Amino acid sequence: AMRFFELNTGAKIPSVGLGTWQAAPGVVGDAVATAIKLGYRHIDCAQVYGNEKEIGSVLKKLFEDGVVKREDLWITSKLWNTNHALEDVQEAMDSTLQDLHLNYLDLYLIHWPVSMKKGAVGFNREDLTQPDIPVTWRAMEALYDSGKARAIGVSNFSTKKLGDLLEVARVPPAVVQVECHPVWQQPKLHALCKSKGIHLTGFSPLGSPGTGIVKIEVLKDPVLNMVAEKLGKSPAQIALRWGLQMGHSVLPKSTNEVRIRQNFDVFDFSIPEDLFVKFSEIEQERLIKATVFAHETFGAYRTVEELWDGEI
């Protein structure tokens, strides 16, 4: 019932993962433990979220207590923008592994097609530098060869940037992780992924309500609510199930036990075809534009249109 999707490496990625972006230190550890006890087997992390140490100590305890085995979990993390240089990638991954108390990752992603000065803290425009994705990818391939990263991929890439990477990659990316939900469905990227055997993972699958950074409320969308009412599910469950039926894995973030449980309760129903087609009527808007990475003098992208190659 769509619990896993198979990657081009042969590995099976659990289709619903717990997002940990903006899960505050002090809260994220409990959320991870709760989720795993409720049956989640996929945790999505990143060095820049600033909470990998806390997640690591929880994982360690869950392994020690026999709640779950390492080989039954899927752990993703991401290379931050300050570590794109060929010689910095392995060190960055090692430090993430150390924080997470792990000796391999199931998936390691280039977090953004954006590079910043080594050691830079925060999102200052003066720290933006020129990315060289082919070089960074070579370092990712070395991690894959070493077995420390059982799969590699990219995040926040446009269709064009993913296509460019495919031209030069020796090891093709297994996953592209991007914003994806009923209000930003990514049809072009979805089609490229489908034709090339790359798996798409959707972050902000609920449209990141309550973060203050997005204005449109995905969970209030009328189509989503109509379908939710017809099927007797919550709008969040419909948004997640839409992603699964598109063939995407989804990463709902919650630190609330009731909602963590609800977001995993999406395997025993499906959106019938006559309702599924209604999603094509939803007006589209990218919610997370990342204007911090576009600058007229610093970095590679003058505008957000350049960062997303017009997909905005």
The answer to whether residue 202 forms part of the interface with ligand A2P (CB under 6 A) is no
The three-point CA angle 310-223-22 to 5° equals 60
The answer to whether residue 263 forms part of the interface with ligand A2P (CB under 6 A) is yes
- Considering only residues 79, 255, 266, 307, which one is a binding residue for ligand A2P as defined by CB under 6 A? 255
Q: Tell me how far apart the alpha carbons of residues 8 and 107 are, in angstroms, rounded to a whole number.
A: 12
Q: Which two tokens stand for residue 142?
A: 């070395």
- Kindly indicate which of the ranges 10-18, 90-98, 202-210, 295-303 contains the residues binding ligand A2P, using the contact rule CB under 6 A: 202-210
Cα 59 → chain centroid? 19
Between 248 and 253, name the residue whose CB sits nearer to ligand A2P: 253
- Kindly indicate which of the ranges 42-50, 81-89, 199-207, 279-287 contains the residues binding ligand A2P, using the contact rule CB under 6 A: 199-207
The answer to whether residue 254 forms part of the interface with ligand A2P (CB under 6 A) is yes
Between 194 and 230, name the residue whose CB sits nearer to ligand A2P: 230
Residue 181 counted as an annotated binding residue:
no
Q: Tell me how far apart the alpha carbons of residues 229 and 262 are, in angstroms, rounded to a whole number.
A: 16
Between 129 and 249, name the residue whose CB sits nearer to ligand A2P: 249
Q: Give 44's contacts (C-beta < 8 A, 6+ positions apart).
A: 17, 18, 19, 20, 21, 76, 177, 201, 203, 251
Is residue 255 a contact partner of residue 30, using CB atoms and an 8 Å limit? yes
**Half-sphere exposure of 86 toward its Cβ, with a 13 Å CA cutoff?**
4
One character per residue 19-48, x = contact with ligand A2P (rule: CB under 6 A): x-----------------------------
- Considering only residues 206, 223, 246, 266, which one is a binding residue for ligand A2P as defined by CB under 6 A? 206
Helix (H) or strand (E) holding 287: none
One character per residue 219-238, x = contact with ligand A2P (rule: CB under 6 A): x--------------x-x--
The answer to whether residue 182 forms part of the interface with ligand A2P (CB under 6 A) is no
